[in-house]
Structure 1
Amino acid sequence: MPGNKGVVYEGPGKVEVHDTDYPEFELKDGPGVNPANVGRKVRHGAIIKTVATNICGSDQHMVRGRTTAPQGLVLGHEITGEVAEVGPDVEFTKVGDLVSVPFNISCGRCRNCKEGKTGICENVNPDRPGSAYGYVDMGGWVGGQAEYVLVPYADWNLLTFPDKDRAMEKILDLAMLADIFPTGFHGCVTAGVGPGSTVYIAGAGPVGLAAAASAFLLGAAVVIVGDLNKERLAQARSFGCETADVSEGEPWEHIERILGVPEVDCAVDAVGFEARGHGREADTEHPATVLNALMEVTRAGGALGIPGLYVTGDPGAKEEAARQGSLSIRIGLGWAKSLSFATGQCPVMRYNRQLMMAILHDRVQIAKAVNATPIPLDQAPRGYQDFDKGAARKFVLDPHGMLGKAG
């Protein structure tokens, strides 16, 4: 049996790479594992040899100490890899398959899964609907920033690439299918982006950049990306976006400069609960800033796609209400404008196959858009530090040195 290494959360601001247990077809007790899941048999699962596993902004919330994540948690929910073993109940997935792993863990059997709502599966997290690998309060499924990881319900969850050699040539693009590309696409779809749309995307991190690329794929006429980080705004401009430096003013001011009117057809929140203010308040955290700004700049009758993460508990919040997940949202403005809101985890399986085809047939260059940057697994701590400082990169961990072989 091979060994295993994983990226482990060791407390606020600290991650380390440690030797970890090789996966078995049974959930073991450990940091963050729900007691009701301990001993759960996973005969329907597959053990994946990780080819690419990405550092996500959602991971950063935990590493910054902004959640109740326990020390010792193995991180990572963006996984692409090769099937190393299959459980006895797996019928169609084969050893050697190259696969994308949706970050949502879902059973394929419950009402929500059958309705396509795989982000809120009812059977994988005893606490509440919805689960993910290596994430706080998500059932305790071990994370995939590791050499090997267990994936349950393999025949249901795994997206197998049809041609392994061709897939390896585009592996950095395909690595974005586990989360940020479908998540950004979902944000745009739920915001109503279509041919000729004008779109404002708050946040030029990887999800925001993926949303911008998705907006173009959906036919948007103008895509405006707002952020406080000049390097990330430059990355957005590199593939055709207009940009708004919100440290220099409110989003509506930039939108009016670009479009001649202070409103857009569609808006996407790719920032989430650690939002900062605009203009003079850019150095101060204001968790409702983005949501309120999007309501202001979206035309009446429009919609807001909200893939940015909001939490039920934020121990690092400055206000007591925000610590409980309560924000000062201008719901009256949203009501008056008849705006629609779509929140929650992206149901990755709703989009990943179509986006895979867009990648394989050169309709989108998502790795280039998000500046995907491979690094070895042992450099994960440095990757987390650089990402936290605002690097305009999507760091992709390479546990087995296989990404250098990609074309």
Structure 2
Amino acid sequence: MTGNRVVVYKGPGEVSVESTDYPKLELPGDVAKGFGLKTAAPHAAILRLVATNICGSDQHMVRGRTTAPIGQTLGHEITGEVVEVGDDVLFLKEGDICSAPFNIACGRCRMCNEGKTGVCLNVNPARAGAAYGYVDMGGWIGGQAEYVMIPFADFNLLKFPDRDQALEKIMDLTMLSDIFPTGYHGAYTAGVTTGSTVYVAGAGPVGLAAAYASQLLGASVVIVGDMNAERLRQAESFGCETVDLSSGADLADLIEPIVGEREVDAAVDAVGFEARGHGAGAKEAPATVLNDIMSVGRAGAGLGIPGLYVTGDPGAVDENAKIGQIGVRLGLGWAKSHHFTTGQCPVKRYNRHLMNLILADKAHIADAVNATKISLDDAPRGYEEFDKGAAKKYVIDPNGMIPA
């Protein structure tokens, strides 16, 4: 049997590509023991990775800003070719190319039946919800690898209808595992619709995906805020307005010349808990973005919050922030009757429709996020450049299957 290689967290600022065992059709031991399940997983499939991406959520771990242990495998953005299926997999076969939502879901529990696959009850004994290669998410092996095991495969995997078309559009389709649905979820739950004015905080890949999704949803103006000039130029490349927060100016003052008023109809936080204050050299202030979007969201506005917030951050600025307790002006949001949507995006709620847009040539998300192909061996370099603020979405090609 062939082996496998996977990206591994080695300590703050360091990752490596290491050899490991070829995956088995088995549940992680903690999951099986925690739920009293058999280890054997005849409902699972093994994928040979076609594409797997570096995510900002991975970067939080690699910076040492979570409780991830040394040796944590990485990678939850998974697109691959089926190479093996268990006896209970009925509707997939070898050779199918599929997208795997980053949330692992059983398809059987109350949450899955309600479409809340980001908080499945049967895949992580520690809490609701699981993901591949992520801290406190059930011990599932990461997908920045050559091969990966996907449980409950008939439920979790989204099969692409045509293999040749899938390979042709793989740089777009690989975004379906996380950032395209996540960005769309942020915009959709914020209430973005025809004619909306929208503010998106953060011009990283998820922020760019949220901005692009806002355009798909019919927004009249999408404003993206960041302090990274290269990333702001990337937002401008597909028609967004931008505001440079490094100036230290009041956000409402920056928005007013663009939309003619100091508020917007909807706002999205695509930054999360490592937010900094405004102005050049501003220090970390984790509640900044949440307070910003409440400040510029009009009365009755929706606030989508796909940006990551954690319950354990050893590198936080104070003792409260280390447990995810930050200085949010909730009274302001309450007074303005805002509605908030937080948590993991339930990818399956959106991925099929977004796939259809890509296959019909109506969505070009890879261009919007500046998708950039690298090899598995180049993953450490990708992490380093991404951490420095590169305006790119790094797509790893572990098995040389992405067309030139």
Report the TM-score, using the length of structure 2 for normalisation: 0.97
Question: Could you tell me how far apart the structure 2 residues matched to 1:223 and 1:305 are?
Answer: 14
Residues 313-355 of structure 1 show CA distances to partners (whole Å, capped at 9, x for unaligned) of 1110010000011010000000100000000000000000000
Q: 1:164-203 to 2 correspondence within 5 Å? A: 164-203=163-202
The CA deviation at 1:259 is: 1.2
Give the counterpart letter for 1:335 in structure 2: W
Q: Which residue of 2 is the match for residue 276 of structure 1? A: 276
Secondary structure of 1:404's aligned partner? coil
SS class of match (1:279):
coil
The residue type paired with residue 104 of structure 2 is: I
- The Cα of 1:404 is off from its aligned counterpart by 2.9
> What is the CA-CA distance between 1:191 and the residue it aligns to?
0.2
Query: For the Cα contact (< 8 Å) 1:45–1:150, is it kept in 2?
Result: yes
Alpha-carbon distance in 1 for matches of 2:395, 2:362 = 22
Q: Kindly provide the amino acid, as one letter, of the partner of residue 24 in structure 2.
A: E
Gaps of 5+ in 2: none
Structure-2 residue corresponding to 1:130: 129
Aligned AA for 2:126?
A: D
Aligned to 2:5: 5
**Superposition deviation, residue 40 in structure 1:** 2.6
Q: 1:50–1:148: 8 Å Cα contact kept in structure 2?
A: yes
Task: Mark the CA change 1:39 to 1:20 in structure 2 (over 3 Å): closer, same or farther.
Answer: farther
Deviation, 1:33, is 7.7
What is the alpha-carbon distance in structure 2 between the residues aligned to residue 252 and residue 95 of structure 1? Answer: 54
TM-superposition CA deviations, 1:341-384 (whole Å, max 9, x none):
00000000000000000011111110000000000000000000
| Residues 3-402 of structure 1 mapped to structure 2, 5 A cutoff | 3-28=3-28, 36=34, 40-248=39-247, 249-279=249-279, 282-402=281-401
Kindly provide the amino acid, as one letter, of the partner of residue 337 in structure 2: S
1:27 is displaced (CA, Å) by: 3.3
How far does the alpha carbon of each residue in 1:208-242 deviate from its partner, in whole angstroms, 9 at most, with x for none?
00001100000000000000100000000000000
Instruction: Measure, in 1, the Cα distance between the counterparts of 2:82 and 2:181.
Output: 22
Query: Match for 1:224: what amino acid?
Result: I
> What is the one-letter code of the residue matched to 2:129?
G
Q: Distance in 1 between matches of 2:207 and 2:32?
A: 32
TM-score by length of 1: 0.97
Distance 1:28 1:126 in 2: 11
The secondary structure found in structure 1 opposite 2:138 is coil
**In structure 2, how many angstroms separate the alpha carbons of the residues matched to 1:395 and 1:183?**
17
Question: Quick one: percent identity of the two aligned structures?
Answer: 67
Structure 1 residue 307: Cα displacement: 0.3
Hey, what's the Cα distance between the residues in 2 that align with 1:202 and 1:35? 41
Number of matched residues? Answer: 402
CA distance in 2, matches of 1:157, 1:344: 19
Runs of 4+ deviating beyond 4 Å? 32-35
- Residue identity in the other structure for 1:36: G
Contact kept? 1:28, 1:39, Cα under 8 Å = no
Q: Distance in 1 between matches of 2:32 and 2:395?
A: 28
Asked whether the 8 Å contact 1:34–1:139 carries over to 2, the reply is: no
* Paired letter, 2:21: D
State the shift of 1:167 in Å: 1.1
Distance 1:41 1:383, change over 3 A: same
Aligned equivalents of 1:250, 1:6: Cα separation in 2: 44
CA RMSD of aligned residues (A): 1.3
1:43-87 deviations in whole A, cap 9, x for unaligned? Answer: 100000000000000000000000111111110000001001001
Deviation at 1:35, TM superposition (A): 6.2
Distance 1:33 1:107, change over 3 A: closer
1:247, 1:5 → 2: CA distance? 40
**Are the aligned partners of 2:32 and 2:38 in contact in 1 as well (CA < 8 Å)?**
no
Deviations 1:92-115 (A, max 9, x none): 111110000000000000000000
CA distance in 1, matches of 2:403, 2:251: 40
Deviation at 1:260, TM superposition (A): 1.7
Answer whether contact 1:80 1:178 (CA < 8 A) is retained: yes
CA distance in 1, matches of 2:123, 2:31: 12
Instruction: Report if the CA contact (8 A) 2:200-2:222 is conserved.
Output: yes
Describe the SS at the equivalent of 2:302.
Answer: strand
Distance 1:393 1:72 in 2: 26
Between the aligned partners of 1:258 and 1:34, the Cα distance in structure 2 is 54
| Per-residue Cα deviation, 1:280-313 (whole angstroms, up to 9, x for no partner) | 5x53000000000100000000110000000011
Q: Secondary structure of 2:11's partner?
A: coil
C-alpha displacement of 1:20: 1.0
